[in-house]
Structures are given as C-alpha cells and as structure tokens.
Homo-oligomer: A and B are copies of this chain.
C-alpha cells in the first residue's frame, strides 16, 4: 500500500491505496502555511497505518532532484523542502514530481496512455501546466516543462486583451488559462457560453498544442483541467489543430484524461510505487 499526495496551491489531496480502483482513504487538506499543510499531511498518513512509500505531484516550479518547491509566488511557499519534511516525519521513501507529470504517470499506468512512450499531458485550469513522458520516462531536463509560458501568436485585432501572466503578459497561459478567460470576459469560464468565447479559447489552445506537437511529436495529447469542462471545447480545439497543421504534421489524438479528476492523486500513488524506476 502506498500514499499519494496531489499537492495543489489551494488544497492537498491525500490518498492511500494501490490504484484507481483501490483508494482506501482520501483526505483533503487546505493549503495554508508549509508547516501546517505538511504537518496535516504527515498526520493523515501516520493515522492510517503502514505505507511502503509516498509519491507527491506538486504545484511548481519544483526542483525535482532536491525535492523542493522553488520560486513560487505563493506566499510562504518559496524554497519549501517538501520531501525532506515528509521523509523526516514518516521515515519512508518519498518520490516527488510536478502535478502534471504525476497525472501523466497515472494515465500511462491505468488511463489513456497505456503502452505509450512519448505523450503530453496539458492541464488548463487557473493556469496552464504541461508535462508527460518522452522515451518512456517522465519529462525532466534542466528543470521541467512549463508549457504555459510558451509564446504564441496573439492577433490583437481579434483579441485586444493584454494577458494575465505577471512575467510575460500574453504568453500561452496569459491568453488561454482560466484566469485569462475570467479577466478577459469578466465572468468565470463556466458562466460563458458564447461561440466568440470558446472559438477564441480553442484558437489559443490549438496554437499551444501545435507547438507541443512541433517540438515533441507526442503519440497522444491528454487535455484536462477545469476549463476543459466546457463541453464544446475539446472538439473545437481538435478541429482547429488540424486546420492549423495544414496537412504538414501527423496530428496525435487529443483526449480527456481517462482517470478524470483522480489522475493527479492516482498518479502520485504510482509515483510512489515506481519510485526511481521512471
């Protein structure tokens, strides 16, 4: 039995189990201070019996090798040693990666990407995150992927909105995240139904995915996150990617996560189980 944590900026979801059909305990902890949040997570696992190890899919940016959250603007959380704190409290091996890589690992073990070696996972929520596998292992390099901060074309005649990224203004996340949709239209994404809104969103998502395809040539793209709950959006994006590719690229399938909202925490369990192997 393993422990998994989906460590988000607003809440931490903790679970014990062996996979998507075997989640024995599940708890949600609000993300407050590092000491309080890490302490509550440690207590949860201490209360719930013996585990062989813990996997954590974390908000970022992270230092994968050191096991810490690095330069996040989230107050109090910059340079937080997550792995060290939990290892000290629980005395078990702790595996650590980005939230998106953990979800990608879950999808490769149990979901939409079984058997694939090179695929991408993109989440469109308050921000935009990206990760996945290349050549059968989770994507790491100098740091880790940050799909949200690509630069994409911004047609200001069609969309005068300046973008919400505090670093880059109108980067991919700045134009296409849930935060950008709310700021541009003055409403939350789930309250918006106009073609104008979702065609523009599909345009930006398609441009971003096209760049992922050009750089990585993934066998599959998994596209999740809260913004993708708009039922027409996946179809609009898929159509627009094909149009933009103009016959030059072979386009991979673009699908929702098979594990749905559980991909993150289930992926964290798999991260614990495969610790060091992926």
User: Hey, which bits of chain A sit against chain B, CB under 8 A?
Assistant: 117-119, 130, 134-137, 139-154, 167-168, 172, 207, 210-219, 244, 246-250, 252
Give which listed residue, B148, B154, B249, contacts A146 with CB less than 8 A.
B249
Q: Is the interface of A mostly helix, strand, loop or mixed?
A: loop
Q: Are A150 and B252 in contact (CB under 8 A)?
A: no
Q: What's the number of copies of this chain in the assembled complex?
A: 2
Q: Are A142 and B218 in contact (CB under 8 A)?
A: yes
CB distance from A266 to the nearest CB of B (A): 23
Known: A118-B141, A141-B118, A152-B152. A215 touches B215 (CB 8 A): yes
List chain B residues, Cβ under 8 A from A249. 143, 146, 149
CB distance from A144 to the nearest CB of B (A): 6
Give which listed residue, B148, B216, B219, B244, contacts A216 with CB less than 8 A.
B216
A-B contact pairs, 26 of them (CB 8 A): A117-B141, A118-B142, A119-B141, A130-B215, A134-B139, A139-B216, A141-B218, A141-B219, A142-B217, A142-B218, A142-B252, A143-B250, A146-B217, A147-B214, A147-B215, A149-B210, A149-B248, A151-B207, A151-B211, A151-B244, A152-B152, A167-B246, A167-B247, A168-B244, A172-B214, A211-B215
* CB closest chain-B residue, reference A117: B141
CB distance from A204 to the nearest CB of B (A): 11
A35 to B263, CA, bound (A): 51
A172 to B151, CA, bound (A): 12
List chain B residues, Cβ under 8 A from A154. 153
List chain B residues, Cβ under 8 A from A212. 215
List chain B residues, Cβ under 8 A from A153. 151-154
